[in-house]
Amino acid sequence: MAGRPSRVRGRVLAFTFALTVITYLDRVCISAAAPAIMAELHVSVLQMSAVFSAFTLAYSIFEIPSGWLGDVRGPRRVLTRIVLWWSAFTMLTGVAQGFRSLVAIRFLFGVGEAGAFPNIIRSFARWFPRRERGRASGIMFLGSRLGGMLSAPIALLLIARLGWRVTFVVFGSIGLVWAAAWSWWYRDRPAEHPGVNAAELAWIEQDAIAEDTIAAATPWHELLISRNVWAICAMYFAYGYGLYFYLTWLPTYLITELGFSALGSGFFASLPFLLAGIADVAGGWLTDHLARHHSLRVARCGVGCTAFAATSALLFASTLSPSPMAKAVLLALALGSADLSLSACWAAPLDVAVDHAGVITGFMNTFGNLGGLLCPLVVGWAVERQHSWTLPFYITAIVYAAGAIAWLAIDPGRRVSG
């Protein structure tokens, strides 16, 4: 049928889904390997916290430049460079000889991976109309949670059989295949892709925001003085702070504090990401549904504020339970609740400044990763100096409550000019 739209944007979504799986396979692998690395390289808890945070420090520093580069050069070239870089340093993690080399390699890993998600969102701004972006983001983030869910048990299995060094080489090699396929197939503009027909192009451009490959000049001043931008950054700082406990210390907490076996810890380290993946898809559908039938403020801020407040309550509840299994389940539910807001988190910057999606999501993700930088250090300090695994959960609950308040300051209907 000649008038039926092609579905190339569905394959764009499949590519980004696969990329987020690989991203979290590489990122979470080190948390599963942490006990083995600490034992072999004689790394303390605080030193391992510094290793975790070296990645997020570099990721934070280079997030905005990499997002801006995607606005200027397009996601095809920038994402190819990003994935090749981080895959190389994932593999090089396996040759670390001590604390200093481990910190250096993980810092450079963060330099390379910075900008991955802003460039994915940049591609969504070009390939999906507004009404589909929430669901697209939800499916894309499902991939990240699938990667997080699979990483711990797969890494633990490979570490047991091959050792932690070879495991990093195996995980890093997957990205090389993705980068080659993306560079060959993807196009920055839907109109340039040979598989896109006129009907699909009209659907993609229905919001009358078709973009050129080279973006308009970035309105740096307007972005820096925008209350919306700072509120978005504040709420995502809270999200990133909470997320990075799951990406770094959760497997160690399950084994050393709650006393789970390797099998049990693998299951409960995966459960939060399973629930989060389900929540990502549900949250994407929910924010799109509310955007069609209510205001953008309800669709973004209503979902985000409610999800963050529930996360805060669940984290606090986990500290009150005497049962290790109940603690693990409540922690899993907390990440699921946080992720119900994730599509709204990434849709709000597009509502505010769609023409500069790479830069504004780079700002947001920088603050998210600053939260991620701080969290492992706070946990390491609390465990090693205060001898408490409970104190970090109190702090994280407070951070999420502050994030819920930050959501109320966002107005997704007010766009940044320029």
- Tell whether 418 is covered by a domain: no
Domain that holds residue 170: 9-408
Domain count, the chain: 1
Determine, yes or no, domain membership for 93: yes
Model confidence pLDDT, tens digit, residues 355-368: 776 778 888 888 99
What average pLDDT does range 233-255 have in this prediction? 91
pLDDT the model gives residue 213 = 40
Q: Taking 60 as the threshold, does the pLDDT of residue 235 lie above it?
A: yes
57 in any annotated domain: yes
User: Does residue 415 form part of some domain?
Assistant: no
In a domain, 291, yes or no: yes
| Average pLDDT along the chain | 87
Question: Would you place residue 214 in the very low, low, confident or very high pLDDT band (cuts 50, 70, 90)?
Answer: very low
Of residues 267 and 130, more confidence is placed in: 267
- What pLDDT is attached to residue 208? 59
Question: Structure pTM?
Answer: 0.74
For residue 212, pLDDT over 50 is answered with no
Q: Distance between CA atoms of 390 and 303, rounded to whole angstroms? A: 28
- The CATH number given to whatever domain includes residue 64 is 1.20.1250.20
Q: Is residue 2 part of a domain?
A: no
Domain presence at residue 414: no
**Residue 220 within any structural domain of the chain:** yes
